[in-house]
Amino acid sequence: MGNVQLDAIQMNLLGQIAGLHEVPEGAYNIRSNGQGIARNTTANIDIVTKEDKPGIDIYIKPGTKKESVHIPVLMSQTGLKDLVYNDFYIGEDADVTIIAGCGIHNGGDGTSEHDGIHRFFLEKNARLKYVEKHYGTGDGNGENIMNPTTIIEMKEGSYMEMDSVQIKGVDSTDRITRAKLDKDAKLIIREKIMTHGKQMAKTSFEVDLDGENSSADVVSRSVARGTSRQIFESKINGNNACAGHSECDSIIMDSSNVTAVPELTANHIDASLIHEAAIGKIAGEQLIKLMTLGLTEEEAESQIINGFLK
């Protein structure tokens, strides 16, 4: 499937969610309107279509270094509901980057929905950077819905960094992330969300720190505008000598509404768990400072938000 032809809408979605302006190098699987349309595998990375349900299995051989996998999902057909199961097997000592993302262009009146269930299995000492971007656009009245579920299992000494961004155009999202960590495993999650209009975003994390010296750092930054609503839930269970930190930092604007529900459970004397949550409007002195540099109040506000979500 070397020569893939994408139309302008698909190229735009691909640019937004993966920063790509052409078909990527290395391994990839491009899914468009509910079907795989392009795939490339390499000597170390295999991509296999599931037989029992929609989705793919991605196998990364032990010791694979500095390779990347792109698995964008593009939806430009209104009213489509797409459900996909993707499983990632990251071999021992591998060190790779996976770039996923979903872009919906809904130009019609139907509701477009993409529900992705991603499972990650990291073997001993594997390292993974997982980047996920969600973006919606379109000029119709149809809603864009994305409900990603991410399940993470980390063996001894493995490391995973997950960056997820949802800045624009997703009307409703219910994000679930669950992780289980063995000895010396380390998980870092950075989530950025902006909602506007009547959008709704719910995000819930549950991390089990099962292994000795395992650690997790979950940081969510969000901006809620208009009459949008956000709910942030994070549960960290310290089941061994471990370190867990979660942080939710939100800017509320207009008539939006944000709830943060942190939950920490220590089941071991040497579990050290911290949660920080802050919700508030943009500080007046921040606006004033930028205005003394010659920015209008609106320009100052947009600089502060862009920086916060950078």
Partner 1 sequence: MLELRNISYEVNENQKEKDILKNINLTIEDRFVAITGPNGGGKSTLAKIIAGILKPTSGQIFMDGEDITDKNITERAKLGISFAFQQPVRFKGLTVKDLITLAAGKNLSTAAACEYLSEVGLCARDYIGREVNASLSGGELKRIEIAMVIARKTKLSVFDEPEAGIDLWSFNNLIQVFEKLHQEVQGSIIIISHQERILNIADKIVVIADGEVRGYDKKEEILPELLCTSGGCKFYSEGGR
Q: Which parts of this chain interact with partner 1 (CB under 8 A)? A: 221, 249, 283, 285-286, 288-297, 303-304, 306-310
HSE, CB side, 13 Å, CA atoms: give it for residue 46: 9
Q: Minimum Å distance from CB 290 to partner 1?
A: 7
Q: Minimum Å distance from CB 269 to partner 1?
A: 31
Q: Which CB sits closer to partner 1, 30 or 218?
A: 218
Q: Minimum Å distance from CB 309 to partner 1?
A: 7
Q: Minimum Å distance from CB 223 to partner 1?
A: 11
3-class DSSP assignment, residue 138: coil
Query: 154 and 187 in contact (C-beta within 8 Å)?
Result: yes
Q: Which CB sits closer to partner 1, 259 or 286?
A: 286
Q: Minimum Å distance from CB 292 to partner 1?
A: 5
| CB-based burial label for 309 (10 Å; 0-12, 13-18, 19+) | middle
Residues 98-112 as b/e (b if ≥16 CB within 10 A, e otherwise) read bbbbbbbbbebeebb
Q: Which residue has the tokens 């505008």?
A: 225
- Single-letter amino acid code for the residue at 177: T
Q: Minimum Å distance from CB 251 to partner 1?
A: 9
Sign of CA dihedral 150, 65, 216, 184: positive
49 vs 36: CA distance, rounded Å: 9
Q: Which CB sits closer to partner 1, 2 or 307?
A: 307
Q: Minimum Å distance from CB 145 to partner 1?
A: 28
State how beta strands 214-224 and 186-195 pair.
parallel
Q: Which H or E element spans position 302?
A: helix 297-308
Q: Which CB sits closer to partner 1, 4 or 219?
A: 219
288 vs 74: CA distance, rounded Å: 42
Query: How many beta carbons lie within 10 A of that of residue 273, not counting itself?
Result: 19
Query: 153 and 122 in contact (C-beta within 8 Å)?
Result: yes
Q: Which CB sits closer to partner 1, 184 or 217?
A: 217
Q: Which CB sits closer to partner 1, 109 or 297?
A: 297
Q: Minimum Å distance from CB 231 to partner 1?
A: 21
Q: Which two tokens stand for residue 187?
A: 């998980």
Q: Which CB sits closer to partner 1, 47 or 252?
A: 252
Q: Which two tokens stand for residue 246?
A: 């979660």
Contacts of 121 (CB under 8 A, 6+ apart): 87, 88, 89, 90, 153
Q: Which CB sits closer to partner 1, 102 or 167?
A: 167
